[in-house]
Amino acid sequence: MRWQWRIYEEPLQEPLTTAQGVWRSRSGIYLRLEDEQGQVGYGEIAPLPGWGSETLNADIALCQQLPGHLTPEIMATIPEALPAAQFGFATAWQSVGRLPYRVRPWPICALLGSGQAALEQWQQSWQRGQTTFKWKVGVMSPEEEQAILKALLAALPPGAKLRLDANGSWDRATANRWFAWLDRHGNGKIEYVEQPLPPDQWQALLSLAQTVTTAIALDESVVSAAEVQRWVDRGWPGFFVIKTALFGDPDSLSLLLRRGLEPQRLVFSSALEGAIARTAIFHLLETWQPCHALGFGVDRWRSAPLLTTLTAYERLWERLDQ
**Is 321 known as a binding-site position?**
no
Residue ranges, comma separated, of all CATH 3.30.390.10 domains in the chain are: 2-101+307-319
Superfamily of segment(s) 108-297: Enolase-like C-terminal domain (3.20.20.120)
Radius of gyration for the chain, computed over Cα atoms and rounded to the nearest angstrom: 20
Indicate the length of the chain as a whole number. 322
**Is 251 known as a binding-site position?**
no
Residue ranges, comma separated, of all CATH 3.20.20.120 domains in the chain are: 108-297
Given a contact cutoff of 8 angstroms between Cβ atoms, the answer to whether 273 and 84 are in contact is no
pLDDT in the model for residue 113:
87
- Cα atoms in the 13 Å half-sphere on the side-chain side of 145: 19
CATH topology classification for 2-101+307-319: Enolase-like; domain 1 (3.30.390)
Three-state SS at 31: strand
Closest among 232, 237, 241 to 293, alpha carbons compared: 241
Percentage of the chain lying above the pLDDT 70 cut: 99
Percentage of the chain lying above the pLDDT 90 cut: 88
Rounded mean pLDDT of 187-195? 96
Q: Which listed residue (136, 150, 161, 189) is catalytic?
A: 136
What average pLDDT is seen over the chain? 95
* CA 69 – CA 75 distance, rounded (Å): 11
**Is 194 known as a binding-site position?**
yes
Which range is least confidently modeled, 9-23, 91-105, 127-141, 199-213?
Answer: 9-23
Give catalytic status of residue 136 as yes or no: yes
3-state helix, strand, coil in the chain (%, to 5): 40, 25, 35
Q: How confident is the model at residue 50 (pLDDT cuts 50, 70, 90)?
A: confident
pLDDT in the model for residue 254:
96
Q: What are 234-271's pLDDT values in tens digits?
A: 999 999 999 999 999 999 999 999 999 999 999 999 99
Q: Which residue has the higher pLDDT, 30 or 17?
A: 30
Phi, psi (rounded to 5 degrees) for 293: -55, 135
pLDDT in the model for residue 322:
57
Edge-to-edge order in the sheet of strand 40-45: 2-18, 21-34, 40-45
Given a contact cutoff of 8 angstroms between Cβ atoms, the answer to whether 97 and 39 are in contact is yes
